[in-house]
């Protein structure tokens, strides 16, 4: 009889661990997009904000370093130039609520909490050199997220999607800044 009580406790612990919710962090950094430490060069961007609805957050230092490293110092020297950037985040629900998405406070440990959302990050950046606008750019990244789980698996999925969108924005920003023309690649490629 004691064997079954141990199994029951083990199953309850596993269920509790599986059901534990982890927070989503949209402004976290990633070592994969960090190449140099921030101490090697003066930062062009001191802060970059991420705005989602009425909430404004500041990017983690690793992400801020990645955006700063995208700027070529020989073209935009940080002793003469300064940068301003912000990211507007938007979450759009793609599907109507289904009977499976009963809130957890109604039925604890509900096994399925599907999500079908589209996330959009819009980076607006401006670089001023000697008080004059030297570069202005706006980029948009979009990711559709579909999943039928919650807890750590769900938060990992959302954190990875956010990290990937930041990585794409950094790459596009770096690509744009390494060319010596004054048109955005998105606009330039349409003509």
β-strand 115-129 against 81-93: which pairing, if any? antiparallel
What would the mean pLDDT of 164-185 be, rounded to a whole number?
79
- Residue 133: which CATH number? 3.30.160
| 149 domain-assigned | yes
Are 116 and 153 within 8 A, CB to CB? no
| 39 domain-assigned | yes
Three-state secondary-structure class, residue 123: strand
Residue 19 has pLDDT above 80, yes or no: no
| 176 domain-assigned | yes
pTM comes to: 0.68
Mean pLDDT of the chain: 75
Residue 16 has pLDDT above 90, yes or no: no
- Altogether, the residues listed in the chain come to a count of 191
Question: Which domain, by its residues, includes 79?
Answer: 23-181
Give tens-digit pLDDT for 85-97: 999 999 888 877 6
Residue 106 has pLDDT above 70, yes or no: no
Question: What are the phi and psi torsion angles at 83 (to 5°)?
Answer: -125, 150
Three-state secondary-structure class, residue 68: helix
Q: How many domains does the chain fold into?
A: 1
The region that residue 156 occupies, defined by phi over 0 for left and psi between -120 and 50 for alpha, beta otherwise, is alpha
Identify the CA nearest to 70 among candidates 167, 180, 183, 188. Answer: 167
Query: In this predicted structure, what is the pLDDT of residue 35?
Result: 45
Three-state secondary-structure class, residue 14: helix
Residue 113 has pLDDT above 60, yes or no: yes
Grade residue 166 by pLDDT with cuts at 50, 70 and 90: very high
């Amino acid at each position: 009889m004691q064997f079954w009580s141990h199994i029951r406790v083990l199953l309850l612990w596993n269920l509790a661990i599986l059901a534990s919710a982890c927070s989503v962090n949209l402004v976290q950094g990633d070592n994969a997009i960090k190449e140099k430490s921030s101490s090697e060069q003066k930062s062009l961007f001191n802060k970059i904000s991420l705005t989602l609805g009425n909430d404004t957050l500041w990017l983690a230092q690793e992400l801020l370093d990645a955006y700063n490293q995208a700027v070529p110092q020989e073209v935009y020297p940080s002793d003469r130039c300064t940068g301003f950037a912000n990211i507007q985040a938007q979450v759009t629900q793609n599907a109507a609520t289904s009977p499976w998405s009963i809130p957890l406070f109604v039925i604890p440990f509900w096994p399925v909490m599907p999500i079908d959302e589209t996330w959009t990050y819009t980076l607006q950046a401006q670089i001023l050199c000697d008080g004059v606008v030297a570069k202005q750019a706006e980029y948009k990244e979009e990711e559709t997220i579909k999943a039928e789980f919650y807890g750590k698996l769900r938060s990992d999925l959302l954190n990875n999607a956010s990290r990937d969108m930041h990585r794409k924005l950094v790459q596009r920003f770096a690509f744009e800044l390494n060319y010596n023309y004054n048109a955005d690649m998105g606009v330039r490629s349409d003509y």
